[in-house]
Structure 1
């Protein structure tokens, strides 16, 4: 079974969201992690995180089905989990006493991937106001400047070429989802998430090219929004720990939950939108703080600002209070509160804990900084959301007033000065 979630009938006649999730950990033709890599298979080995990551994205989508811009109607899921992941694929609650279990999922090989992609495209072509959500996790490669995704039977010697069980993400898969003469009502909002490495493939002599083709790409007017979020830069790797969700999956779920910036004043419900722009900012901030060097800024054939989901309350944000200059850090205490209430935090001076990390709901905050000595008190007000990961606090040093200038010494008192010497004055002229 691949169609694991279906509410098409409930939302018939209105825009819907259609999701397609692909997770590949158990590559049947790649060496196991404890076996030596094979250069003819690009030194790749089997994985133990992607299937679990896709499973958790599926869980998140179902739990948040009615918060998406268009209500979630379908999820198509193919995955090939490793033995280490299988115990962690706990049932997903579908509501009304139903559960989705791992035993009912088809493998993520080419045989199952392509037919499900075709069905997914068919669902997406019913209403131009609908939305699609594609998430892939597994081995990725970069060839001739184009990212590839691979399926569970990648490097199958019977496929006719070592790259045949892979496909180009942007050049084939995304372009094949464009409107065409046969699909004029194709969904115009399409989100793509590629959780994989992008190590460069060199075309050595004898390499059977090109990669596999999911569908033909036809010329036409492409007015879609296709934001694409990549877990790594070209030539780089994506981080993961075997048996756990990938770093990108962890970050994406966190940012989908909190990646809004401002309330939409034009929305009748005054909600907070998580859009392609705000989600990109949230992911960038997350990985900058982690300093892992991964996550490539979102791109796409047409990267427009489109809303993926809505939050009904202010999102949780993480930010840091940064005191300058350094001499003020050890003597300055902070008092931080959210205007309107709901948050107050006193932070004593601590060079060891600086810069000070704070987690709170987005909003307007007032800060007071007081130094024990040497610096003037500072009061500041800021709108805090994910666009303000750092709040700089500039402390002004108190300059001591210079001592008063010394007055010139007054002359000492003494006898009056004698008149100057000279001849006596002549008597006045005239008779008496």
Structure 2
């Protein structure tokens, strides 16, 4: 009996190995993938990649195989891009070829290739054009959106004031405020912070973000149209999800960093008092007069490294890249973390230092390796909205409050709660003290 089991297991392993070998030969006949660790039958390179430390494992492999290499997740080849030069060469210099998208397994059941984030080809192009047009029509980048953000920031200040300097977890305070900006765009109205359905939605989105790391009447008779109910629903879901969790998580990381580095918070307060004062509401035009605040926000985004491995791409055709030929449909992971921490672009990349975005005269300076929104044709379509939200919420809150930690600044732990698809901020409490 035991012999039969052993023989069966051997046959399964042998056949699996043959299938992988055949798949690799087929891939090799179409192209020449970058080198990488030899995959095992069935499990690929999972022995070299710890599930709880995927990013760290891949960066370690890059030290051996270089900035462009191939790993296998099971029998799926994944091309890994590390560092600014490799990511730029792919996503910007060969933007069209690397503009495909692969849906992460945790989201496949929900999206199934629909919606603006995970669609491809004509479906994606139609949905992206539509989404950008609608967002512009609703005022993205204009005064009307700025006023919605300013209004919501004032509601958030009222909620902070109610805490009466007592410790609280900022998670749902920030999620509700940021999500209400999206609600005001999509629905034309906001939710009360205590609305039960709204709170349930916030919990679902927050849980999903954490778990991942562990139709129109002119169009209905057009067979080529992608304006169907499923696409519209999932595009709207993408806007809510991306527009809520990414910005609110960045704010939560920002609060932690400002408390860990009180000298930075003090400089921000000084600049706010000098440029805006206490008598009026901050506006987006203040940003050009506030290089230090702008630099701090950029550095918060860089250090928080929210989507460290980027959203998976795919090549849209057989693609020549650095002497290799990547077959059409191959998954590509642009490791944004390695761009945001590239030592050739940032001094002391693992430290929090707003000087990364300031010149010798204290003026704000851009850095081409700043890619928290990715780059190329798949760059986040909500970048302008997110940048406006981050500036107005940070500035409005810090105009009124001093962020006070419950422990000594040196004891503040920045380690993510989860680190996979996203770096989820740790759970913490703070007090806000009126200035």
TM-score class, shorter:
under 0.3
Q: Which has the higher contact order (CA 8 A, sep 6+)?
A: 2
Structure ranking higher in helix proportion? 2
> What TM-score comes out, normalization by structure 2 length?
0.20
| TM-score, scaled relative to structure 1 | 0.20
Q: Which structure has the larger Rg over C-alpha atoms?
A: 1
